[in-house]
Amino acid sequence: MSAERIAQLRQLYADLLTRRLKGDVERLNEAFRTIPREKFLGPGPWRIFTGDRYIVTPSDDPALIYQDVVVALAEEQGINNGQPSLHARSLLSLDPRPGDTVIHVGVGTGYYTAILAHLVGPQGKVEAYEIDERLSRHAAALLADRPNVTIHNRSGAVGPLPPSDAIYVNAGATHPADIWLDCLRPGGRLLFPLTPDKGWGGMLLVGAAPKGFEARILTQAMFIGCQGQRDAEQERKTRAAFAHRNASKVRSLRRGTPPDASCWLAWDGCWLSTAALTST
């Protein structure tokens, strides 16, 4: 396929992903338009996840993966290159800015790491964590041309982690790691999938504000589990919280205080509240 044809496919793909998003989408559109998804998926045909099974694309035509589809990276482990529209919406909300230091947890082969690197620009940096050794090596090779990315073959849910402006977690957790909250700079943002053991959870956006942590649940999400950030009892509580269908009421995350009547979901040491932070 000609370079011109590939460029046309990527342009259409980027436009479709960002067309309904509100805000400063120009840099996000450029990232999806310029970064070659096929580079991070390996040679086709590819295996597309349909929600309950995988189907094989009829050929290795790149047009088949410049769509809003989930593609297998390690099918036997349930590891996929996630849905582009979910990531586009999530990244717009996380708002990685030029010059930012970003932590990426759950890198896979590095496609969304490359998009983060594009968004923070050459003056920013991405500290990327992938616990699977094979995927980590693969991502390091594919991202070797991006000097603002460092790949770490270990969990991104334990320290040390650098002080950061944004943290993007691509593995489902029943609770936020303390280290994620601790390493956020003032004004920093954390976005991770808050998920039960089965079924849908949601993308939880946490912002470090002067008086605490603002929080809101952006959209439904389902991810492979984040090692070290799963708890059996918390699975049950998370599933029950989302079953009430009032996740849109979450307004803040509280630490070091006992839950009150506004509590939506509690963990050991912190909780989500439907009340906004107070200014005093």
Burial of residue 11 (number of CB atoms within 10 Å: 0-12, 13-18, 19+): middle
| Bridge partners (DSSP) listed for residue 127 | 103, 150
Domain-by-domain residue ranges, the chain? 82-273
Which pLDDT band holds residue 279 (cuts at 50, 70, 90)?
low
| Bridge partners (DSSP) listed for residue 167 | 103, 190
Mean pLDDT of 269-273: 96
Architecture field, domain 82-273: 3-Layer(aba) Sandwich (3.40)
Which pLDDT band holds residue 245 (cuts at 50, 70, 90)?
confident
> Residue 170: its pLDDT value, please?
96
> Residue 230: its pLDDT value, please?
86
pLDDT digits (tens, 9 = 90+) for 36-65: 999 999 999 999 999 889 999 999 999 999
Q: Where are the alpha helices (DSSP H) in the chain?
A: 3-18, 26-34, 37-41, 84-94, 111-120, 133-142, 178-182, 232-243
Return d(Cα 73, Cα 8) in angstroms, integer: 25
Mean pLDDT of 124-142: 97
Report the percent of the chain where pLDDT is more than 70.
99
Return d(Cα 201, Cα 241) in angstroms, integer: 9
- For residue 280, pLDDT over 60 is answered with no
Mean pLDDT of 199-204: 92
Mean pLDDT of 196-205: 90
Which pLDDT band holds residue 158 (cuts at 50, 70, 90)?
very high
- For residue 268, pLDDT over 80 is answered with yes
Higher pLDDT, 196 or 227: 196
Please give the mean pLDDT across all residues of the chain.
95
pLDDT digits (tens, 9 = 90+) for 82-130: 999 999 999 999 999 999 999 999 999 999 999 999 999 999 999 999 9
